[in-house]
Amino acid sequence: MQGFSGRNLKYMRAFGEAYSEESFVQQVVAQIPWGHNVRILDAVKHPAEREWYIRKTIEQGWSRAVLVHQIETDLYRRQGRAQTNFEQTLPAPHSDLAQQLLKDPYCFDFLTLTEEAHERHLHRGLIERLRDFLIELGTGFAFVGSLYHLKVGEKDYYLDLLFYHLRLRAFVVAELKVGEFEPEHAGKMSFYLSAVDDLLRHPSDGPSIGLILCKTSNRVVVEYALRVTSQPMGVATYEVRHGEALPDHLKGSLPTPAQVAAELEAMEADAE
């Protein structure tokens, strides 16, 4: 064989040094494209972590771009890190699977929000970038609805986001909070899960699961709040990019909103 570049030869040597077991190469590593392998060799140095990304790529069918994103956002250390009460509220091995589906923190770097953003802004951003949101959630999440309507006792309630997980065979209710986790968030989620179980859950479905996504959380407060509820739920934080203010030396060079409005009115008058 001939025609390999010096760069490719170096990667081949690194590949051979990284994976010394022929059976592992044939049965696992060979299932992902060479370009994926190169990215993993470049960015991941610990053998156990490297194997984890290889197996996740096979399991979830990540493209090269998605793989790079997951490595850059350190998914290996985020996966399964959400605080939950699954061990007490779900049967094994259902509880283990549910735990591994949630992460902490969630990385919403595809969003740009100001520090003063409200929950409706976060909600709207996630819906507008639903594909990116589903990739971050992970394989198996099917989107059911946004502000999903439930009628309980002649009163109307709206779930921020409702999903169905194909492996768990269960509904997943997600509630968004732009501030710190508060104990009452768990109480509200418990109510929603009871309603979903009664109104939407099929007899063959597993128990519905709640995911409370907050900007920040205190682990002790979360632990106490989850300990006293019998409904399976988890609490995780999220990270977003915040829009940066213009440098002072540029602020004066842009028109104010009033100036823009006046200019538009003048243009409309000229057109008439």
Given this model, what pLDDT does residue 250 score? 46
**Greater pLDDT, 68 or 262:** 68
Smallest Cα–Cα separation from 112: which of 215, 238, 237, 241?
241
Q: Tens digit of pLDDT for each residue in 165-209?
A: 999 999 999 999 999 999 999 999 999 999 999 999 999 999 999
Give the Cα separation of 160 and 192 in Å (integer): 11
Residue 5 pLDDT grade (very low, low, confident, very high; cuts 50, 70, 90): confident
236 lies in the same domain as 155 = yes
Whether residue 111 contacts residue 245, with contact meaning beta carbons closer than 8 Å, is answered with: no
Q: Classify 140 in phi/psi space as left (phi over 0), alpha (psi -120 to 50) or beta.
A: left
Positions of E strands within 139-243 = 141-152, 155-165, 170-176, 209-214, 233-242
| Average pLDDT estimate for 37-59 | 92
- Chain-wide mean pLDDT for the chain? 87
Given this model, what pLDDT does residue 21 score? 83
The whole-model pTM stands at 0.79
Given this model, what pLDDT does residue 206 score? 94
Q: Tens digit of pLDDT for each residue in 230-257?
A: 999 999 999 987 654 445 544 455 455 4
| Average pLDDT estimate for 56-74 | 91
37 lies in the same domain as 152 = no
146 lies in the same domain as 57 = no
231 lies in the same domain as 143 = yes
59 lies in the same domain as 141 = no
Whether residue 212 contacts residue 165, with contact meaning beta carbons closer than 8 Å, is answered with: no
Domain contains 260: no
**Greater pLDDT, 92 or 8:** 92
User: Per-residue pLDDT for 270 more than 50?
Assistant: yes
Smallest Cα–Cα separation from 206: which of 163, 173, 234, 168?
168
83's enclosing H/E stretch is strand 83-84
Task: Tell how far CA 172 is from the center of its chain.
Answer: 13
Domain range holding 63? 6-72
Paired sense of beta strands 106-113 and 141-152, if any: unpaired
